[in-house]
Structure formats: structure tokens, C-alpha cells
Amino acid sequence: QVVPEKNIPVIPAMGKDNTSSSPFTKRLEGKIAIVTGGARGIGEATVRLFAIHGAKVVIADVEDVLGLALASSLSSPSAQAVVTYVHCDVSSEDDVENLIDSTVSEFGRLDILFNNAGILGSQTKHKKSIVDFDAVEFDRIMRVNVRGVGLGMKHAARAMIRRGTAGSIISTASVAGVMGGMGPHSYTASKHAIVGLTKNAACELGKYGIRVNCISPFGVATPMMVNAWRSTHYDGGGDEEDEDDDGGAGIFNRQVLVEKTEEFVRSLANLKGGATLKASDIAEAALYLASDESRYVSGHNLVVDGGVTTSRNCIN
Ligand code: NAD
């Protein structure tokens, strides 16, 4: 048996939101990036990190107030960053086309698309068995999670091919896209579909120098996860879209819910040391896939889950 030496940190001190652990700075200098679902959660952490690393970033979201506030706070003269906001419902082809076209006309080209917008749907409804499958909810989730990613790939690839840009297209899948039993039925189907789209698009776009990858996070205590946790444990019936709805949370305020969600995720992770998965950990993965350091990586699904999916079936 190998015994760890004392005083060796079990895992590196990561997870401070919005900081980069990398010794390299400005890894995206001069690049133009779009982050869908960039107004909050994983998208917001990625917008911040991409901007720190010198990219000009366009936030695309349907939460206009949040998105505009983030863009203006990051674009303040002291921040020395260029971050803009475009309203875009990723399930609308007109919106996605407008997003890509307006980015190219403002900044000259597009280097990075992070297809990150996604919805979980109503957790309470989806606690139902497959024999109670909700076709309406299925269509709603597929429209955002799969159609949205497909449309993003289509219009980003067109813009990159037209300009001869060696671009990087990244999408957020999930551990629910890797194995079953990690989320509601429709969400799981949608995230498996994102992994499939990624592999196919990577096959085809490599010849243009465009890399296509996805990231599969485990649980991060974003509004989506916290609301899901609340509705599962307190049966409030809320979903990720009604952030202000406190139904079911009872005496728990949002901070308590975040802590409870993180505690739950930590208890499942297969990493010693009580590591909490943060949105910034996913942003770091996106930074790697967006930067030239991953220039030989395409068609890959980068799982960021503290070993959960691989260790679930371990027999030793
Ligand atoms: P979140 O709900 O906090 O943020 C999602 C963002 O997407 C929000 O700003 C929302 O307004 C935006 N959005 C939703 N529908 C949209 C649409 N039609 N068009 C444009 N924007 C839209 O959630 P998050 O946890 O940050 O999720 C980001 C991505 O990560 C999602 O694809 C999600 O499925 C995935 N993911 C999250 C977790 C997790 O534990 N948080 C785990 C695995 C995968």
C-alpha cells in the first residue's frame, strides 16, 4: 500500500470562483468568443475567465437584465475588458444567426463558441417514471439543449469556414450525457445528443481546422442545480427558470440551499479532501478547450466530475 506523505495537499487549491489557476496569462489574447447562457452560472464564470485571458466576449442569453449588467460591469475602464451582450434564445434560428452575424460584423470574426445555454426542466415532473413520460416537456428541453447546440454549431462553423478561422466550438453536455440515472429522462436524452453532435461535427469540421469538443460537468451549485435540489428535497415544484420563486424552500434561504447542494455533490465525488466543484472549474475546462493549448484535441468529451462517473461501477 502506498501511504501519502504528510503535508502533501490531497488536491490542489482550486475552485475559487473566477480565478485562473494557470501560470499562463492571456491565453485567449486577440480571440473573439461567444458564451451562450453567459448571464449566470457556469456561463458567467466562463465569461469572466475568458475576459481575464484577453478574449473579447459576447454574452448571449435570454436574461437581458443579468446579461447587460454583467457585460457593463466587466467592460468598465478599470476592468480593461471588452464584453458585450446580445439577446439570443438559442432555440431560435433567427436569434442564433443574428448573434453570429452581429459578432462577426462588430469584431471581424469568431474564434470560439461556447454553446453552454441549457435547461433542466421541471425536476418535480421529471421525478416521474418513464411510464409517465411528458412529451411536451421533452420537446421544450430538446429545443433548447439540442436544437440550440445544433444551431450554434451550424452558424458558428459557417462563419469560421467563411473567414478561414481555426476555431473552437465547445458545448456543455453533462454527466447525464455519459451515463443513465444522473438526471431527468428528457435532460439525459438531450445531453447524450450533445455528445453525439459533438463527435459528428468534429469528424466533419477538422478539415477546416475547426475543433469541436464538449464538457460534462457533475453538479455545480448554480441557480439551475440549486432550484433542482430544492424542488427535489422540498417538493416546491420550481424549476431552474424561476430563480426568484422561493416555493418549497421554507426556512432555507438561497445561501443555505447552495451549501446543501454543494454538500450533497461533495458526498458523491470520488476525491479525497472535500473538494467542492465550482463553476470556475468548468470555466477552466472551457478555457483549455478554447485555447491553443488544446490544438490537438477534437471530438472529445471532457468530464469534470471528481471521478464520479468512472468510479460508480468500480468493484475494487
Ligand atoms: P443556469 O440555469 O444557472 O444558467 C443557464 C443560463 O442559460 C441562464 O443564464 C439562462 O438564462 C440561459 N438560458 C436558458 N435557456 C436559454 C435559451 N433558450 N437561450 C439562451 N439562454 C438560455 O445553469 P448552469 O448550471 O450554469 O447551466 C449551464 C449549462 O451547464 C447547461 O447546459 C446545463 O445543462 C449544464 N450543466 C450544469 C450542471 C450543474 O450542475 N449546474 C451540470 C451539468 C451540466
Q: Express each pLDDT in 53-86 by its tens digit.
A: 999 999 999 999 999 999 999 997 777 799 999 9
pLDDT of 142? 98
pLDDT of 14? 53
Give how far Cα 220 sits from Cα of 52, 66, 195, Å.
21, 19, 19
pLDDT of 80? 79
Assess whether the C-beta atom of 294 lies below 6 angstroms from ligand 1. Answer: no
Confidence tier at 129 by pLDDT (50, 70, 90):
confident
Which ligand 1 atom minimizes the distance to the CA of 143? 18
pLDDT of 88? 98
Cell of 24: 499562463
289-311 average pLDDT score: 94
Question: Which residue in 85, 187, 208, 234 is the catalytic one?
Answer: 187
11-21 average pLDDT score: 53
pLDDT of 278? 94
Is 187 among the catalytic positions?
yes
CA of 246 to the centre of ligand 1 (A): 19
Contacts of 188 (CB under 8 A, 6+ apart): 176, 177, 180, 182
Confidence tier at 293 by pLDDT (50, 70, 90):
very high
CA 258/CA 279 separation, integer angstroms? 12
pLDDT of 4? 63
pLDDT in tens, 135-171: 999 999 999 999 999 999 999 999 999 999 999 999 9
Give how far Cα 20 sits from Cα of 26, 35, 43, 111, Å.
10, 18, 15, 20
3-class secondary-structure state, position 84: strand
Q: What is the residue with the minimal CA distance to atom 30 of ligand 1?
A: 172
Assess whether the C-beta atom of 46 lies below 6 angstroms from ligand 1. Answer: no
- For 108-147, where are the alpha helices, taking DSSP H only? 123-126, 135-142
Of the given ranges (42-51, 202-211, 258-267, 279-288), which has the lowest mean pLDDT? Answer: 258-267
Assess whether the C-beta atom of 41 lies below 6 angstroms from ligand 1. Answer: yes
Assess whether the C-beta atom of 287 lies below 6 angstroms from ligand 1. Answer: no
pLDDT of 127? 60
Q: Are 58 and 103 in contact (CB under 8 A)?
A: yes
Containing H/E element for 32? Answer: strand 32-36
- Nearest CA to 152 out of 60, 19, 266, 234 is that of 60
CA of 282 to the centre of ligand 1 (A): 12
Give how far Cα 227 sits from Cα of 135, 145, 222, 243, Å.
22, 18, 8, 7
Q: Are 165 and 110 in contact (CB under 8 A)?
A: yes
pLDDT of 31? 97
Confidence tier at 5 by pLDDT (50, 70, 90):
low
Q: What is the residue with the minimal CA distance to atom 18 of ligand 1?
A: 89
200-211 average pLDDT score: 97
Of 120, 222, 245, which is best to mutate to test ligand 1, by the most ligand atoms within 8 angstroms of its C-beta?
222
pLDDT of 179? 94
Q: Residue with C-alpha cell 421529471?
A: 126
Confidence tier at 29 by pLDDT (50, 70, 90):
very high
Mean pLDDT computed over every residue of the chain: 87
Containing H/E element for 263? Answer: helix 254-268
